[in-house]
């Protein structure tokens, strides 16, 4: 299980190393991802079951909230969501097709309470450009929070709220100097390289907290 979980990360390292070579140390303008690399990115991304999120520690919550660029009303609302206890009646994020089927056995309330996800929680994420830093722009949406980021090689780290479904969505906003939008998302030690994205394309990634 551990080896399987590490496989996407190992391939990620190979992709990044390959991208570095292709871009001649990131000095060129415009992305230059080969068709083979693009296909590998696509396959690895779709093989990911989920990304293990890095939860914001209680001692860092205030700092994280201040860095989220929220207006006062949104900040107050998020604080309330973060302090709200989990609801036993909330559906599980990992519901299987069988569980969604009306003909499947009913889930007992006790089992629902045990499987119910935690309340909204803050998770650290980092967005970066996996190829040339050429002006690619994406928008991240999670738990009612939205932020537009111009991708850099170093990346931007900030907190996002993760709701019950655990899904973070990334939308391609601008393809810098061509070659598609090349974005990576990390949370703590976990990383995911997205397929080459086009403007307007939306991709979701499930985040879980162990």
* Dist. CA 200–CA 197, nearest whole Å: 8
pLDDT of 198 above 60:
yes
Q: Domain range spanning residue 27?
A: 2-54+119-208
Q: How many residues does the chain have?
A: 210
Q: Count other C-beta atoms under 10 Å from residue 160's C-beta.
A: 25
**CA 80, chain centre distance (Å):** 23
Give a yes or no: residue 28 inside a domain: yes
Give a yes or no: residue 75 inside a domain: no
112-138 mean pLDDT = 83
Give a yes or no: residue 179 inside a domain: yes
CB burial string 36-45: b at 16+ within 10 A, e below: ebbebbeebb
pLDDT tens digits, 75-92:
999 999 998 876 554 444
Give a yes or no: residue 70 inside a domain: no
Give a yes or no: residue 152 inside a domain: yes
Q: What is the pTM of this model?
A: 0.73
Give a yes or no: residue 63 inside a domain: no
Give a yes or no: residue 50 inside a domain: yes
Alpha helices (H) along the chain:
2-22, 35-47, 61-66, 72-83, 97-100, 109-115
Specify the 3-state DSSP secondary structure of 112: helix
Query: Could you give the number of structural domains in the chain?
Result: 1
95-118 mean pLDDT = 43
Q: Which residues have CB under 8 Å from 190's CB, separation 6+?
A: 9, 51, 52, 53, 54
pLDDT tens digits, 18-61:
444 334 444 456 788 999 999 999 999 999 999 999 999 999 99
């Amino acid at each position: 299980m551990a080896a399987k979980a590490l496989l996407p990360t190992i391939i990620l390292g190979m992709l990044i190393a390959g991208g570095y070579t292709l871009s001649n140390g990131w000095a060129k303008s415009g992305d230059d991802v080969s068709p083979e690399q693009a296909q590998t990115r696509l396959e690895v991304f779709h093989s990911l079951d989920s990304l293990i999120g890095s939860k914001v520690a209680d001692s860092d919550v205030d700092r994280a909230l201040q860095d989220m660029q929220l207006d006062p009303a949104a900040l107050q609302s998020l604080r309330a969501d973060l302090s709200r206890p989990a609801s036993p009646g909330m559906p599980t994020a990992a519901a299987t097709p069988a569980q969604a089927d009306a003909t499947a056995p009913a889930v007992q309330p006790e089992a629902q309470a045990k499987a119910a996800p935690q309340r909204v929680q803050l998770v650290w994420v980092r967005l970066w450009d996996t190829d040339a830093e050429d002006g690619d722009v994406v928008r991240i949406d999670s738990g009612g929070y939205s932020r537009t980021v111009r991708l850099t090689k170093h990346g931007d780290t900030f907190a996002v709220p993760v709701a019950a479904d655990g899904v973070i969505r990334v939308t391609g906003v601008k393809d810098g100097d061509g070659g598609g939008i090349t974005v990576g998302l990390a949370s703590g030690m976990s990383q995911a390289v997205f397929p080459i994205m086009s403007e307007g394309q939306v991709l979701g990634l499930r985040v879980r907290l162990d």
